[in-house]
Amino acid sequence: MSPHLTVPSRPARRVPGHETRLYLAAHPLVYPLMRLLARLGPVVRVPGIGVVVNDAATARAVLMDERFRKDGPGSPGDLWTPVLGPSVLLNMEGDAHTALRRKLAPLFAPAQVASLVAEVLEVPLRDLSARLAGGETVDLVDEMRLMAGAVICRLIGMGEVSPDDARSLFADGERIVSMVSLRSRGLSERQIAAARQVLDRIGDIAEAAYERGEETTVMGRMRSLGLSAAEARGAAGAFFLTGTETVATFVPRLIALLHDTGTRLDGPGDLDRAIEEAMRVTTPTPVMLRSVAVPARVGRVPVRPGDRVLIVTHNCARAYGPFDLATRHPPELRRIWFGAGPHFCVGYPLALAEIRAVAAVVLSHDVRVVRRRAARGVLIPTYAHLWITAGPERTGTG
């Protein structure tokens, strides 16, 4: 990484409207409603939607409290169990969940993910850097799909991953994730069948790698860690659904935010701060769901078994203002965009390793955004294209 990361220095502006435009393009009706709810207080009961949480401290309290579960009515389990199976972390609770997390955590140890990322991204990052150095205009969205797709392909046990494999796998994942809307309570029979078809393919790749049992692959290590073939299949599906689009959509948004605010970074420490701050503003996972298991209170609002709690992470995080590297992240906010408590993102070290690796290479050039387009019909707000180039600014950019 270059010791001195720079983006063109401009006077810091505090109103980058592009992020809002991404949210509006993805969710033209729901996003204005979601932001309106933020003004109604920390916790609001909304008929037909559930109990909505807009405040980081309350959100953290819910995430840390076992009365709010991921496996009851209205929980993520409702959405994903029919396609992923019953035991894939994100729809589990209690001892079985803890035991599976304990088995999977070593796979995401920082040293493991660093070597996975370095190996898989070495060639794509060298190419990207050369294209930027050569003055090409590059679509960072497409590049990120390729890279995040390649990392997940390798994680689930594919050997050599071609760019076409990576892109096609990314498109499959995006199609499944986009079946969910912010109002979804479940998938239709047709959606379940379509999602299963893709996930069966992922499961077959994963299971073959598991059977080969090579210690150098994640699937092989799952076997030696004592996971069953079914657990390994399920984990591969869960990683595929949660770990591709989240990372791929984030990096272009990070680079755009730095460009739009004229933020200058002075080294790796600053890059980490910029990543955290851009996570806060973008919240790639804008909401988290829980199902109420026993009578309780969320903030001051009483809740009953079967109630759905919708944590609007985006509102919780945006309450601390627009993108600004100087924004302090108080303890209640700390990385809430990756969750908190027993379900805290198990892939966090991998996400960070990928994001750091790509952002460091991109920002080692004097990059600027030359054109962009917001994506429509997606769950995670993102750019459909973000064209960047390195070098001195010409007129008519932005």
Q: Which residues face 289 on adjacent strands?
A: 310
Cα three-residue angle 50-51-54, rounded to 5 degrees: 125
Give the interface size with ligand HEM as a residue count (CB under 6 A). Answer: 23
Of all residues in this chain, which one has the CB nearest to ligand HEM in the complex?
347
User: Binder to ligand HEM among 68, 80, 210, 338 (CB under 6 A)?
Assistant: 338
User: Binder to ligand HEM among 59, 176, 256, 351 (CB under 6 A)?
Assistant: 351
Written as one letter, the residue type at 355 is I
> Is the C-alpha dihedral spanning 76, 314, 18, 274 positive or negative?
negative
Give me the 207-226 binding string for ligand HEM, x by CB under 6 A, dash otherwise.
--------------------
Q: How many whole angstroms separate alpha carbon 129 and alpha carbon 201?
A: 33
Q: What is residue 372's three-state secondary structure?
A: strand
Tell me if 81 contacts ligand HEM by CB under 6 A: no
Write b or e for each residue in 181-199: b if 16 or more Cβ atoms lie within 10 A of its Cβ, otherwise e. Answer: ebeeeebeeebeebbbebb
Tell me if 80 contacts ligand HEM by CB under 6 A: no
Query: Residue 314 has what DSSP assignment?
Result: H
Tell me if 68 contacts ligand HEM by CB under 6 A: no
Nearer to ligand HEM, 230 or 370 (CB): 230
Asked whether the beta carbons of 209 and 217 are under 8 A apart, the reply is yes
As measured in angstroms, the least distance from the Cβ of 232 to ligand HEM is 13
Residues 250-269 that bind ligand HEM (CB under 6 A): 250
As measured in angstroms, the least distance from the Cβ of 287 to ligand HEM is 9
User: Binder to ligand HEM among 58, 81, 191, 242 (CB under 6 A)?
Assistant: 242
Asked whether the beta carbons of 34 and 313 are under 8 A apart, the reply is no
Classify strands 308-311 and 50-53 as parallel, antiparallel or unpaired.
parallel
Tell me if 343 contacts ligand HEM by CB under 6 A: yes
Q: How many whole angstroms separate alpha carbon 102 and alpha carbon 73?
A: 26
Q: How many whole angstroms separate alpha carbon 298 and alpha carbon 3?
A: 46
User: Binder to ligand HEM among 34, 350, 369, 378 (CB under 6 A)?
Assistant: 350
Nearer to ligand HEM, 187 or 288 (CB): 288
Tell me if 284 contacts ligand HEM by CB under 6 A: yes
Nearer to ligand HEM, 245 or 260 (CB): 245
Tell me if 5 contacts ligand HEM by CB under 6 A: no
Return the structure tokens found at 362.
């991109």
* Residues within the interface to ligand HEM (CB under 6 A): 89-90, 101, 155, 238-239, 242-243, 246-247, 250, 284-285, 288, 337-339, 343, 345-347, 350-351
